[in-house]
Chains A and B, each alone.
Chain A
């Protein structure tokens, strides 16, 4: 990840993110030397020619301290910016200091700028010069319900309650505790919420000083929000579109350039929770996009799978043809056993059936774990019978799974329920025929098996038995072996199944199993 441009400028952000917070201020006042050292290290790393430290004009002490610390360093400047929320935002500070705007969707590095917080510079110094890991940070504990609001070094992981107790917190009715500032912080519900790396402030305001937003009223298009918006959006237009869920318009009005600073909602006389609307809409749009990507992926996967199935079918047909020809030749040579011809033909037929069952079997084994799991190890006595039934069941499960996948692609997830029902019903219609076929095949297989049982005792798979007893067949099992790995490769493609799909497959498999049982009992 290299920036598109060489970095010319390192900006240290000494502008407090939000009102109430003074943690950066404290850090700059007492640790200006360390911050400057950190800045030099950072400057070296990103090879920036100049470093600017931006500080708001309401922090004279911090300005003095840093000016003193950078007195002798030529390429680190301290710049004072007016105190106006949200100048502490990355993009806003860059504009304030350089007059440049970070392009929409871009990062400051596109302009050759890197911005770090003063806290980061301090942590860099600690880490590189002193070799200390980041285990604590300055946290502002403030609010009208505290006896002694202050800045403290808080170990990461300190519960909020401890900090509040430390500052002498007397909760009022319906006390709100906000982690972060009043504009962008979030209310916490649980006092054991720990301090983390990004916790710059714990705010325990009184309801009087920071009244919770009242009831939302109609937007009167007063435009105060637009005046306040640092991204120069039109919040009230966005609000209309957000309420109407007009996602195209939202994008057209650049919803995604909103930095959720809250300035608009703060000034809104109708007390509309504008930011909340934007967050909801952003989440909706993101979800829709993800859904699109997902369905696109599913489509590609489905197409690839179709292609592969088609290819395999062709290959199998070719193999069968070839082996049939070989057998015919071999039979021509071996004229001694005429009655064997009939048997071989029957076997070939059975084989065809069995092998196709077999291939499905292995596919479904890898595909749906439950269907194979739930069938216990079969006893040799009716092993073959069970296996055939199992194979049928699996084939059906497989088919159902495939249909499920298709429908999952076409239909939205929510609609899956009716679709599922539909699939099962169509299946039950179509399977009557299949079952009949499968039963015929099973009968043939069973007949064969009995005959082969006489010849060979150990039977684990129909195919194996055939490989042993029949020479031509043995040859034909070789291509099968070749097919197997291809089939085996399927799980890799199938693994990114969502939990949803797996669940559906399981359901389908269960249905198939039930049907198989029914078929068996018949």
Chain B
């Protein structure tokens, strides 16, 4: 049981990361990661939807026939998105405005429907919620990484607009890292998101390759040891 859980965790965070490996949900990923706080807002929203929709779907899966499963899944996801949207409208209005259309668009985020289809519809509620949580964290992590990097490069700040999410007290959180005369617009504009995303994926591949290399080396040395004992 624990091994399986470990798998789920690892899958969501690294090996099958929705943003880095499955390349799902790129549209919001690229569009709203111009600041850290925007990324965080959308990340949390997506995370919540992922967890509850995965849970719900795994609970109702035995009553959903194969033919109508997609509409049902979308209905479930849409309801939760609406709830989140209303909540954000009520409590974090600033962020709600700045994320705009991308909140309702969470419904169409392939990462969510993908997990519903690939995981929640086949597994129990506990695993499904865990999977949703991990996938959500994995997705949010990439959002934050990209958002943070773009914000720092683009306008030299970090946590700009934190008050939109956390309320007025968070105004002071904004950190000015560089002082630019001119913003580095490329980082803030969509092309910057693509380039940044590409670089992050490249980084992950490098890390994976390095690890694979290490593994091969280990295996080799073990083999050699065995050969000598046989002879």
Answer whether A and B touch in the complex at a CB cut-off of 8 Å: no
Task: Please list the residues of chain A having a beta carbon within 8 angstroms of any beta carbon in chain B.
Answer: none
